[in-house]
Chains A and B, each alone.
Chain A
Amino acid sequence: MTADDARRLLRAMWRIRHFEERVGRLKRTDEVFGLIHLSVGQEGVAAGTCLQLRDDDAVYSGHRAHGHALAKGAPLDRVMAELMGRETGLCRGMGGSMHLVDVEHGFMGATGVVGGNIPMALGSALAARQLGGDAVAVVFFGDGAVQAGHFNETVNLAALWGLPLIMVCENNGFAEFTPRSAHTVVERVSDVVAPYEITRETVDGNDVLAVWERFGEFLARARKGEGPFLLECLTVRLRGHYEGDPAAYREAIADEEWQKMDPILRLQRHALKQKWVDEGELAAIEAEAVDEVEAAVAFGRESAFPEPELVAELVYAGSDA
């Protein structure tokens, strides 16, 4: 990792952090309309992976997708406008928080049904192989999706055909409202795929350096035609499953403890120690993110709601026939 990589990572993580926290506040006043799942605490995984990808690499995510979309290059103001249901939104207000798509940047889609995205990424990996380039497919999912048939069917086929698919599991220990121990006897997601003998690794997902390095290695190998890979990132979902979830099923993490675990603060401390940045630059990076998020809220507020004609227009695609 270079000083410049660290700056890019910090910028990406602060953008996600402030975006998510702002969305949480907008949700409380219903300026953000629908069902919202925030990824506060998990920024290290989105940034440590997506910043290494190209626009022609296909990325899929699930219901907690804001961070992945932003890290993959989706314009922050249009993601905010989407959450506010506006015509200028990333998906013209048709998808919302759980269904972000940004084809231009290779963010091929997010699904609201746990596990549904995983076989779709398999299709992108198959397409990448068939097209003959070195593009890859990456899919993000939580530990809850691993118990779904989608995951197991996909792992089997990706391994059978050796496809350039990198599966990134954000293991935050909770499948929606339930701890992993209530769902399975297998503690480590990376162990679930052991019989397929695919390359797999469990890392501390709040250690951006570890995510960056291991994912970078998998990516380089996938570009050379190897695959699939599974990267399990142990991380922390600071908020409830959805905005409004009182999360009575677990104890909140003490602030002091979180300061030690926070992926952003950890990278900041490392970057300072390496003398890559100084305190002034760190403050500037965060301030820039805050400003961008505020500008996005203003952009959303100024944008019109979509016209009703859009609904019928988008049911079917026109045919070449």
Chain B
Amino acid sequence: MSHELPYIAAIDEAIRLEMERDESVIYFGQNMATTENAPYRQAFGDDRVRVTPISETAEIGMAVGAALAGFRPVVELYMAEFMLVAMDQVTNEAPRFRAMSGGQVKVPLVLKAGWGFTAGWAGQHTGTLTNMFMGVPGLKVVSPSTAADAKGLMATAIRDDNPVVYFHNYLLTLDHGEVPDGEHLVPFGVADVRREGSDVTIVANAHMLNQSLKAAETLAGEGIQAEVIDPRTYAPLDVDTILTSVGKTGRLVLVDSAPRHSAASNVIAGEVVERGFDLLKAPIVQVTALDATVPYSEPLEAYVIPDADRVAAAVRGVLGTAPVGV
């Protein structure tokens, strides 16, 4: 059985269910008590739900300490960029303590971070930071594209015994989707083939996934069948599903809203070239944002961030029906 929910409400449903299921789950962050999150305090009390000052380092460091003591903290960070204020805790402390302690400790915590608000939110609220975190050993990095995955990946993140960066895409906030009732867990490291096709493989996530699915519809009208894959989790990364698809299509277009030299697509391209070079009938093409700060002005923002037209053009290029180029 399932019910329809907006993406953001599906995340909430998972957090609520996990907090009901497990008393060690605690939830804190800025603005928790005064805004829409007040119901959490009503439901779970002031001990388990805490409002914090604008102190990301203390919030995340506190989560690490509480995790070492057996709790499962979820830190509400609102904007992924706010996490950068506390990079020491996110990259030096949380993911390294298990290894550095020789396996004596585990650090189960979730950093819930909204990202990619490319709707005029300018240079510090629109970033795609996946690649910045997926290369940190010990961190897990997930990014749901649907309401169902938003719920299922959050539940899995809270139950995971490692620090998890949970990215939720702000452009999908109010997108509705069917969400399974009750317990719903989406495993990490399993990509989702969202559309089957035989001519080209497109890999994309979140808003870029929706743009790619739109491009695939357009291309279908031209007789081109694109297979569209959502990685869903970036650490661990399901390279096998992508390689299997490339084995079928022989062509790969990687779509990513991150700057070209800081995109997860760079990592995927490297893995595919190394492990599946002989499967490729054409060079891999990456459709990424420009290596630039996302501008505020609407036409300039559109100039920097890829869209369905650019994805379709790249596919035509890879298939030789148009010049290769981005």
CB closest chain-A residue, reference B60: A119
Complex: A157 Cα to B61 Cα, angstroms: 12
B160 with A101: CB separation less than 8 A? no
With A95-B100, A95-B102, A116-B88 known as contacts, the answer to whether A321 contacts B159 (CB < 8 A) is: yes
CB of B238 within 8 Å of the partner chain? no
CB of B270 within 8 Å of the partner chain? no
B66 with A315: CB separation less than 8 A? no
* Residue-wise interface mask of B (219-237) relative to A, using a CB-CB cutoff of 8 A (1 in contact, 0 not): 0000000000000000000
B275 to chain A, nearest CB (A): 18
Most buried by A among B52, B73, B97, B100: B100
A116 with B161: CB separation less than 8 A? no
* Residue-wise interface mask of A (288-321) relative to B, using a CB-CB cutoff of 8 A (1 in contact, 0 not): 0000000000000000000000110111111111
A149 with B57: CB separation less than 8 A? yes
A-B contact count (CB 8 A): 160
CB closest chain-A residue, reference B161: A317
Complex: A156 Cα to B159 Cα, angstroms: 30
A315 with B65: CB separation less than 8 A? no
With A120-B93, A314-B98 known as contacts, the answer to whether A126 contacts B104 (CB < 8 A) is: no
CB of A187 within 8 Å of the partner chain? no
Complex: A153 Cα to B104 Cα, angstroms: 28
CB closest chain-A residue, reference B104: A103
CB-contacts of B14-65 with A (<8 A): 26, 47, 50, 52-53, 55, 57-65
B102 to chain A, nearest CB (A): 3
Complex: A165 Cα to B239 Cα, angstroms: 45
A84 to chain B, nearest CB (A): 14
Contact residue among B55, B71, B102 (Cβ-Cβ distance under 8 Å from A91): B102
CB of A89 within 8 Å of the partner chain? yes
CB of A241 within 8 Å of the partner chain? no
* Residue-wise interface mask of B (286-324) relative to A, using a CB-CB cutoff of 8 A (1 in contact, 0 not): 000000000000000000000000000000000000000
B97 with A109: CB separation less than 8 A? yes
Complex: A318 Cα to B50 Cα, angstroms: 28
Size bracket, chain B contacts: 35 or more
Size bracket, chain A contacts: 35 or more
B98 with A316: CB separation less than 8 A? yes
* Residue-wise interface mask of B (61-94) relative to A, using a CB-CB cutoff of 8 A (1 in contact, 0 not): 1111111111101000000000000001100110
Complex: A286 Cα to B60 Cα, angstroms: 43
B68 with A108: CB separation less than 8 A? yes
B159 with A320: CB separation less than 8 A? yes
Most buried by B among A60, A126, A320: A126
A111 with B66: CB separation less than 8 A? no
B62 with A119: CB separation less than 8 A? yes
A314 surroundings in chain B (CB, below 8 A):
98-99, 102-103
B108 surroundings in chain A (CB, below 8 A):
317
B99 to chain A, nearest CB (A): 4
A255 to chain B, nearest CB (A): 38
CB closest chain-A residue, reference B67: A123
CB of B2 within 8 Å of the partner chain? no
Contact residue among A89, A99, A120, A130 (Cβ-Cβ distance under 8 Å from B68): A120
CB of B137 within 8 Å of the partner chain? yes
CB closest chain-B residue, reference A93: B102
Complex: A153 Cα to B56 Cα, angstroms: 9
With A116-B88, A153-B57 known as contacts, the answer to whether A319 contacts B65 (CB < 8 A) is: no
**Residues of A in contact with B (beta carbons under 8 Å apart):** 58, 60, 89-95, 99, 101-103, 108-109, 111-113, 115-116, 118-128, 130-131, 137, 149-150, 153-154, 156-157, 160-161, 310-311, 313-321
* CB<8 Å pairs between A and B, sample of 24: A58-B65, A91-B101, A94-B100, A94-B102, A95-B100, A99-B101, A101-B101, A103-B101, A116-B88, A119-B57, A119-B58, A119-B89, A120-B68, A123-B67, A125-B65, A126-B66, A131-B69, A153-B55, A154-B58, A157-B55, A160-B53, A315-B137, A318-B161, A321-B160
Q: A91-B102, A120-B61 are in contact. List 13 more A-B contacts (CB 8 A).
A: A90-B102, A91-B101, A113-B93, A120-B64, A123-B68, A149-B57, A150-B61, A156-B53, A310-B102, A314-B103, A316-B98, A317-B107, A317-B162
